[in-house]
Amino acid sequence: MRKDFLTLLDLTAQELNDIIDRAFEYKAGKAAPACPLLGKSIGIYFEKASTRTRISFQTGIYELGAHAIYINPNELQLGRGETIEDTARVLSRYLHGFVMRTFAHEKLESFAHNATIPVINGLTDLHHPCQALADLMTIKEKKGRLKDIHIVYVGDGNNVANSLIEAAVLTGINLVLACPRGYEADDNVYKNALSGGANVTIVADPVKAMKGADVVYTDVWISMGQDEGAEKKKKAFKSYQLNKKLLSHAKTDAIIMHCLPAHRGEEITDEIIDSACSVVLDQAENRLHTQKALLEVIIK
């Protein structure tokens, strides 16, 4: 595989399957006891607040025998005008890998282009590939397969939606995204997926989208750092709330997914996220296992 993991398409279909299989071994406690990354130091840089991404990476790095160095952007010389390019070149002399959570995807790409160590996307405004790894593991865990599983994503066409679209390219899942007009997933990501043969559809009607859903997925309507126009956006999304009425149009054994944090009472109701069909906590736990499997492969 390539040295960096900036989007899900940095993996081949086989590499993706291998990472998920390895993650299952980690979850089952069947992985070899040796620490494969012993003696390594991995930087984790976060411009955005984080619960699951930061803690799962720090824990996973420790469990693999490496040392996680948390980097606060306010404590780097970046805040005083040093370029992202120079920062990448210098940190490459100290570290064996770098996890970056930032806003603009272009900033991540610039860092990775100038770094000589593996760079992992911990989230940008455009992609959230580590979340997609855990999502796919959870679906396979609950449904026994990925190919031909029918996933319906309801809500904002954000970074999570974009990474699910790329997941469809690699796995053969059938993906329908129900988004209000003007809030669809990234057009380039969508068109690239279609050209790659993925079965992905974007629609505006959330009720029609639910038909035949094996998996129903939603996310917050207002992502971090995108508060401008929030009230207008909430009005546009009013009929996209994942509630009992909307879920009734899916299969009776459909599972519910949410990458968290959830804004309960907005994009999803308490009744649904706390129901027996919700797998959001398994989904969150699987961030740890998939990221350990990814780190083991990508950090040399």
- Its pTM stands at 0.96
pLDDT at 130 over 60: yes
For the CA atoms of 29, 34, 36, 39, the dihedral, rounded to the nearest 10 degrees, stands at: 130
What's the token pair of residue 214? 């094996």
Phi, psi of 69 (to 5 degrees): -110, 105
pLDDT at 1 over 70: no
pLDDT at 2 over 70: no
Asked if residue 125 lies in contact with residue 225, where contact means CB atoms within 8 angstroms, the answer is yes
Judged on CB neighbours under 10 Å (0-12, 13-18, 19+), 194 is middle
pLDDT at 173 over 70: yes
pLDDT of residue 144: 98
Asked if residue 185 lies in contact with residue 162, where contact means CB atoms within 8 angstroms, the answer is yes
Bridge partners (DSSP) listed for residue 288 = none
Q: What is the mean pLDDT of residues 69-91?
A: 92
Asked if residue 242 lies in contact with residue 209, where contact means CB atoms within 8 angstroms, the answer is no
Euclidean distance between the first and the last CA atom of the chain, given in angstroms as a whole number = 12
> Would you place residue 47 in the very low, low, confident or very high pLDDT band (cuts 50, 70, 90)?
very high
pLDDT at 190 over 60: yes
Asked if residue 103 lies in contact with residue 127, where contact means CB atoms within 8 angstroms, the answer is no
- Coil/strand/helix, residue 111: helix
Q: Set out the domains of the chain in order of their start, with CATH numbers.
A: 8-128+287-298 (3.40.50.1370), 131-283 (3.40.50.1370)
> Would you place residue 103 in the very low, low, confident or very high pLDDT band (cuts 50, 70, 90)?
very high
Average pLDDT over all residues of the chain? 96
Amino acid (1-letter code) at residue 89 = R
Angle between helices 159-171 and 129-143 (to 10 degrees): 50
Cα–Cα separations (whole angstroms), residue 6 to 100, 102, 297: 9, 12, 14
Q: Which residues contact 21 (CB under 8 A, 6 or more apart)?
A: none
Catalytic residues: 101, 128, 131, 219, 259, 287
Give the tens place of pLDDT for each residue, 11-24. 999 999 999 999 99
Give the tens place of pLDDT for each residue, 244-291. 999 999 999 999 999 999 999 999 999 999 999 999 999 999 999 999
Whole-number Å distance between alpha carbons of 212 and 221: 24
